[in-house]
Structure 1
Amino acid sequence: MQQRPLGRSGLAVSRLALGTMTWGRDTDPDDAAAQLKSFLDAGGSLVDTADVYADGEAEAVIGSLLGTLVPREEVLIATKAGLRPGFGRRRDGSRGHLLRSLDASLRRLGTDHVDLWQVHGYDPDTPLEETLTALDHAVVSGRVRYVGVSNFSAWQTAQAATWQAAFPGRAPIVATQVEYSLLERGIEREVLPGCTALGLGVLPWSPLGRGVLTGKYRHGRPADSRAASPHFGPFVAPYLEPRCSSIVEAVATAASGLGVSPLEVALAWIRDRPGVVAPILGARTVGQLLGALQVEEMTLPAEITQALDDVSAIPVGYPEREG
């Protein structure tokens, strides 16, 4: 698998990342082990998780596989902190919460450091400079190699990145993790141009439109699908409306013409977008992952890329649009 630099950093990562949101809940440990081994065998390196995935069980599953199934040095671990499960204060970017969360993540992962640590969401109740000092401390202490943000708006991303770049010795923001797919192109208005200007790599989550771009929902909701599950149903539902269906049909038409799956078409499109470093594959089973990994040998013809750009285009007006 090809490797790409993560933003303006010396860290090279595989151009596809392995997501683990379902590990420890919908994906059992045996299937998680098969996914990790298959991913590494295909040349993948970047594994993404978070402290809140399955209430920490996703990290624990990864930790159980490091050093037993796969060597720690072959895996680049990205995790996140800053969200609280349940009700009440959902986002917490305070220094205390972030550093406690990092220590807990390291215990579950069974490692002394993570390769990329990301703030999971912007906390309006904590001064941003306090949040960023936690990132600095984590890097200086050796517990974190690189830092990033996730689900930040354009101005929040720019504020964090420029604050860190203002003085020598601060840990630079090298990446942002945001939702991006043919069904959700909102970051193209401001976030993506800002990341390009500031040298941040983009890690798209849900690059397959929460699974909808695989085409599995074209004729209903399979009983074993995320849309039919109680905890993922509301997550998928927004992408089952008519506009999204027309995009899915365009993807399916392109796939039929190329003799590949809709998944491969949608994934190749997002993988090769300007600014994108590594889409995060959130496969539930090893079979789904193996299907997605087939995209490594594929490049979309320019005319198909343009057709998909046109059918999924988002409205862009003042002040983003020039002229």
Structure 2
Amino acid sequence: MEQRHLGRSGLRVSRLGLGTMTWGQETPPEEAAAQLTAFVEAGGTLVDTAGIYGDGDSERVLGELMRHVVPRDELVIATKSAIRADGRYDASRRHLLTALDESLDRMDIDHVDLWQLHVYDPATPMEETLSALDEAVTSGRARYVGVCDHTGWQLAKAAAWQRAWPGRAPIVSAGVEYSLLHRDAEREVLPAAEDAGVGILAWSPLGRGVLTGKYRTGIPADSRAATDRYAEFVRPYLSEQSRLIVESVVTAAEGLHVTPLAVALSWVRDRPGVTAPLVGARTLAQLQAILDAEKVTLPDEIRDALDDISDI
């Protein structure tokens, strides 16, 4: 798997990141072990987690796997902080540094490669929040820092603040939802990231699963849309406009003799400014389909056609 620099930093990561939101809950430890093994064997290095995932279970499972399945030094570990267990946003210096220490304890490691602000907290001054990122890097608890789900102006302000004074930890990544069904990031976030030399980590690159085509004839009983927990998460992408985009993806896939998943993933992965899409799978079979699809590169004419169809 190709390795890419994260933004204009020296950190190299695989062009596909493994998301672990379901680990320890929908994905049991033994299944997570099989996933991590397959991912690394395919050349993957970037593994994304968060302190809030499964009340810390995702990090605990990942820590166990680094002790017994895949050595720590073969992975680029990214985690996130700024959301409390009750769902409240808190990017205060006190909470962030405490949360980072808790993440390190759960994974039983002394540092993460990438520590990210999970959300923007309007109740905390940005300079206070960013000072916590500086402390994490200077203390050795994090090698690089980034942000997630920030607007264009929030990203630009944070990146500019960090580069305004020598010794501050630069923002190197921005996590944002990005897919053929959700291109809002192109309006402000992607231009801001390009200007600041920040790499994009695109979450939900398969349109919350809809771009795989599995919802074309209804809601499968074993799908996320059929569960109480995820139904509202998927529902916005089951509109008529989304259906037309999905049908175009399916048509392109049939013409190329690949899967709709491969078309949708390739489109995001090779967009300007994107370092890596982040993909999560509940099962090894789902991950293997993603890894197989990762090898596909879209012809320019197909990419241009999908650009036009999804530009809404």
TM-score (norm 2): 0.99
Post-superposition offset of 1:294: 1.3
The CA RMSD measured in Å over matched residues stands at 0.8
SS in 1 for 2:67: coil
SS in 2 for 1:310: helix
Counterpart of 2:203 (choices 193, 201, 205) is 205
8 Å contact kept, 2:93–2:131: yes
Corresponding residue number in structure 1 for 2:122: 124
Post-superposition offset of 1:230: 1.3
Post-superposition offset of 1:297: 2.4
Does structure 1 residue 29 correspond to structure 2 residue 23? no
SS in 2 for 1:77: strand
Corresponding residue number in structure 2 for 1:275: 273
Counterpart of 1:261 (choices 259, 262, 270) is 259
1:1-40 equivalences under 5 Å are: 1-40=1-40
Corresponding residue number in structure 1 for 2:216: 218
8 Å contact kept, 2:265–2:294: no
Corresponding residue number in structure 1 for 2:307: 309
SS in 2 for 1:279: strand
Corresponding residue number in structure 1 for 2:61: 61
Corresponding residue number in structure 2 for 1:140: 138
Q: Distance in 2 between matches of 1:36 and 1:257?
A: 32
8 Å contact kept, 2:78–2:112: yes
**2:89 maps to amino acid:** R
Post-superposition offset of 1:85: 3.1
Q: Distance in 1 between matches of 2:83 and 2:202?
A: 19
Q: Distance in 2 between matches of 1:238 and 1:284?
A: 21
1:65-144 equivalences under 5 Å are: 65-86=65-86, 90-144=88-142
Post-superposition offset of 1:284: 1.1
Q: Distance in 2 between matches of 1:252 and 1:240?
A: 15
Corresponding residue number in structure 2 for 1:41: 41
Corresponding residue number in structure 2 for 1:286: 284
Corresponding residue number in structure 2 for 1:177: 175
Unmatched 5+ stretches in structure 1 = 315-323
Counterpart of 2:250 (choices 238, 249, 252) is 252
Post-superposition offset of 1:190: 1.0
**2:29 maps to amino acid:** P
**1:9 maps to amino acid:** S
SS in 2 for 1:278: strand
Q: Distance in 1 between matches of 2:295 and 2:8?
A: 26
8 Å contact kept, 2:76–2:113: yes
| Matched positions, count | 312
**1:4 maps to amino acid:** R
8 Å contact kept, 2:259–2:293: no
Post-superposition offset of 1:8: 1.2
Q: Distance in 2 between matches of 1:196 and 1:178?
A: 14
Q: Distance in 2 between matches of 1:294 and 1:310?
A: 26
Post-superposition offset of 1:282: 1.0
Give identity over the alignment, percent: 62
The range that moved more, 297-306 or 117-126, is 297-306
SS in 2 for 1:311: helix
Q: Distance in 2 between matches of 1:296 and 1:7?
A: 21
SS in 1 for 2:265: helix
Q: Distance in 2 between matches of 1:180 and 1:98?
A: 26
Q: Distance in 1 between matches of 2:254 and 2:271?
A: 22
Post-superposition offset of 1:24: 1.0
Q: Distance in 2 between matches of 1:220 and 1:302?
A: 32
SS in 2 for 1:8: coil
Q: Distance in 2 between matches of 1:238 and 1:94?
A: 32
Unmatched 5+ stretches in structure 2 = none
